[in-house]
Amino acid sequence: MPLQAAIIDLDGTMVDTLGDFVVVLHHTLADLNCHPVEVARVSREFIEQTVGKGTEDLLRKTLAHAWGLLDDDAEVLAQLPQALARYKHHYERLNGQNAQVYPGVATGLARLSELGVPLACLTNKPTAFAEQLLTLKGLRGYFRHVFGGDAFERKKPDPLPLLKTCEALGTEPARTLMVGDSSNDAQAARAAGCPVALVRYGYNHGHPIEEVPALVHVDSLDALDWPALSLAADSGA
């Protein structure tokens, strides 16, 4: 069959981490002496529409939103290094405590593993936090490789992380399925030449995921039909 391996996103695809982001960002803002009203502006809904393009991007937009500024404002950029340090401190100690594995993820990964499909996790979350979260949730053993947003020179939606992950897996991009939850994943996959499968839950910046072209849209990871996906990829569907 034409498909040789799968690359799977983490936040919004395997684990619902919004609860982690809410708690960690609120602690970070409090450490920066933000007013409670400013902290409250950073709601779960805001984070759901903002997360996905890396820690620095999330923090920059969070500070700007809390303070009512543009995300390239000088005050935002000046506070970013301190915010990043506090964010990393809190994320390391709270990682996974307010996060849940989506239904069907463990079953879906087990099925792919039983079929002998090599798997890699590719996320914009820092690698150490991704490794920690996967281990805490009992998912680390399914993956040959785990690459975070700090693993390569650029992050998704740039295609470089996918191309480098394919190299690590020893597979061709056209024969490596990207599984994600957002246009971010789909854009990176298209640019890298990888077919893409998208889950219908997750965080797609507030837009319906069905609007994003994909080989298939599924309700859960255990709905991935590897033989059918291989045939569809081979036919160019």
Is 181 considered catalytic here? no
CA 190 to chain centre: 16
Element (H, E) at 20: helix 18-31
Q: Are 125 and 87 in contact (CB under 8 A)?
A: no
Q: Which residues contact 188 (CB under 8 A, 6 or more apart)?
A: 156, 157, 158, 159, 161, 162, 178
Which among 20, 11, 49 has a CA at the least distance from the CA of 180?
Answer: 11
State the catalytic residue, choosing from 9, 11, 20, 181: 9
CA distances from 235 to 81, 171, 192, 217, 229 (A): 48, 19, 18, 17, 10
DSSP character for 102? Answer: P
User: What are 15's strand-pairing partners?
Assistant: 11, 101
Catalytic residue set: 9
